[in-house]
Amino acid sequence: MHKKTILVVDDSAVMRHLNSAVLEEGGYQVLLAGDGQAALEKMVDTPVDLVLTDWTMVPMDGCELTRRLRARPACAALPILVLSTLSNEASKADARQAGATGWLCKPIEPETLLAVVGSLMNPARA
């Protein structure tokens, strides 16, 4: 059976490593990118089933990454989950407007991350 692929986008190497470890333990294949531009470059050659992105990054943040992905017809239904230390309503509203599927606040328990990712990857089972 094909492993679902998740692209983890975060400018913190520690966060990329932690999230990657949790997702791999959950049975997913994981790709890593340090910012939105690197994420777009990875997705040129490799299709992904879900994007897990930080919101605050440079040079391309999670908002711009989400907008650019949503502009691609192939990514119209792609789940895009924001994982950020920010919790203000303005940022969450910006994420919804850009096309993000959901928002989770850091730090997050591994079980919660896997449950949310699982529900987005297999909506019929949620």
DSSP helix/strand/coil, 25: helix
For residue 111, being part of any structural domain is answered with no
The amino acid present at 36, given as its one-letter code, is G
Which are the contacts of 8, defined by CB distance < 8 A and separation ≥ 6?
16, 19, 20, 23, 30, 31, 32, 33, 52, 53
Q: Is residue 112 part of a domain?
A: no
pTM of the entire predicted model: 0.94
In this structure, is residue 118 part of a structural domain? no
Q: Could you tell me if residue 108 is inside a domain?
A: no
Report the domain count for the chain. Answer: 1
- Report residue 71 CA to chain centroid gap: 16
pLDDT tens for the chain, 126 residues long, are 678 999 999 999 999 999 999 999 999 999 999 999 999 999 998 999 999 999 999 999 999 999 999 999 999 999 999 999 999 999 999 999 999 999 999 989 999 999 999 999 876 544
Q: How far is CA 33 from the centre of its chain?
A: 10
Question: Is the residue at 82 inside a domain?
Answer: yes
CATH assignment of the domain containing 25: 3.40.50.2300
At what angle are helices 110-121 and 13-25 packed, to 10 degrees? 70
Q: What pLDDT score was predicted for residue 126?
A: 43
| pLDDT tens digits for range 76-98 | 999 999 999 999 999 999 999 99
Residue 90: inside a domain, yes or no? yes
**Confidence at residue 113, expressed as pLDDT on a 0 to 100 scale:** 97
Please tell me the predicted confidence (pLDDT) of residue 45.
87
Instruction: Determine, yes or no, domain membership for 123.
Output: no
User: What's the domain range around 65?
Assistant: 5-102
Is 60 inside any structural domain? yes
